[in-house]
Amino acid sequence: MKHRLKQLILAASLAVPALSFANTAFVPPVPEIAGTAYFLLDAQSGQPIATRDADTRIEPASLTKLMTAYLTFKALKEKRLTLEQALSVSPKGWKTEGSRMFLDPKVPTRVDDLIKGMIVQSGNDACVTLAEAIAGSEEVFAQLMTREAKRLGMNHTRFMNSTGLPDANHYTTVRDLSTLASSIVRDFPEFYPIYSLKSFTYNGITQPNRNLLLYRDPFVDGMKTGFTDSAGYNLIASSHRDGRRVVSVVVGTASPEARAVESSKLLNYGLQFFDTPKLYAAAKPVSEVPVYKGDAAKLPIGFNQDVFTTVSKGQAGRLKAELTTQQPVIAPIKAGQQVGTLKVSLDGKPVLERPVVALQSVGEGGFFGRLWDSLKLLLGM
């Protein structure tokens, strides 16, 4: 028997909050950005707000260290490292060129200090030390970096080292970097505050965070700078204001000042002229569907995560949602299993699509119940 599709229109259930600038639908053009490429991401909805050359291959320079940090945080979460663990820098790590936290080969350094040295001081020696502790060698660690990038959906990225030192086969895109930055915020909130530290002192040497926006904008709380002669001056910045978070990636600017100014333009554009209404709450039923051959007749359905969307200010009230579920739904069903799709549109144009999942499991029913439901399906009852 062919499955038939059942569509339910749920526009009335959109819980759009009262928004500021409710009568303002005007959105000016994206400001001119003096860089080779940029990407502005709404971190809550996952939707881009403004981009240029989003998928063009770029040299990430020290923005690479976001992935080094991601894998370090993951190792800590999985208890393969501890913050109190002391590591010694290898000859390779100690000799690595570029920025450093000035590790002493004779003095082991705690992992929590290595993390701060990597993030705040952009220490290449710290990166190599962490990479070797996690993977045995920096070369193997780079392979793990690329594999993790693919898992996160960074499909145009390849890493050759943990530091971002130039290599012809070491590349990414501004879109992929925005994915990585927002993943750190989402997956490791306990470590993210390190990105807001304005300075860090190690081995008697105090180095400032090179992200100038931390000193200028009270809403900016991260993330990372990068520079090489070939890449120019790069900056990933994250701003949290009025319950919203936006992430900007700007690469190829001419100076530390320029990367800060251009990033500020993007962040303010996204925060001033767009909103991120919450449409549905995680784990809260939005509908029920009938279940056949199960130990329950109805299945509550909804979302694993809160559902947000990004719209220009004043347009949230015009959103429409359509929920499509595939019928018949036949037990057994596992909690979290996709059973439908939510599509959100604005004035007939699609803006968002999310999977709809079972919010609870439904096991197989008894013999006679399954037999009766088979008869109903056969007769189309």
List the catalytic residues.
62, 65, 122
C-alpha 181/C-alpha 119 separation (Å) is: 13
Q: Give dist(CA 16, CA 241) in Å, integer.
A: 18
Beta-carbon neighbour count of residue 161 at 10 Å?
21
Q: How far apart are CA 329 and CA 74, in angstroms?
A: 37
C-alpha triplet 189, 225, 262: angle, nearest 5°: 105
Q: At 316, phi and psi to the nearest 5?
A: -60, -35
CB 122 within 8 A of CB 61: no
Task: Find, among 80, 79, 71, 108, the residue nearest to 93 by Cα.
Answer: 108
In whole angstroms, what separates CA 268 from the centre of its chain?
20
Please give the angle made by the CA atoms of 173, 267 and 145, to the nearest 5 degrees: 30
User: Which SS3 state, helix, strand or coil, does residue 133 take?
Assistant: helix
Q: Distances in Å between the alpha carbon of 181 and those of 67, 117, 209, 223, 322? A: 9, 18, 17, 8, 31
Which single residue is written with the structure tokens 């599509």?
A: 343
β-strand 287-292 against 329-330: which pairing, if any? parallel
Cβ(193)–Cβ(184) under 8 Å?
no
Contact 63, 113 (CB under 8 A): no
Copy the structure tokens of residue 192.
């993210």
224 assigned to a ligand binding site: yes
Residue 91 token pair: 């000859």
Please state the length of the chain.
Answer: 381
Which residues sit in the known binding site for substrate?
224
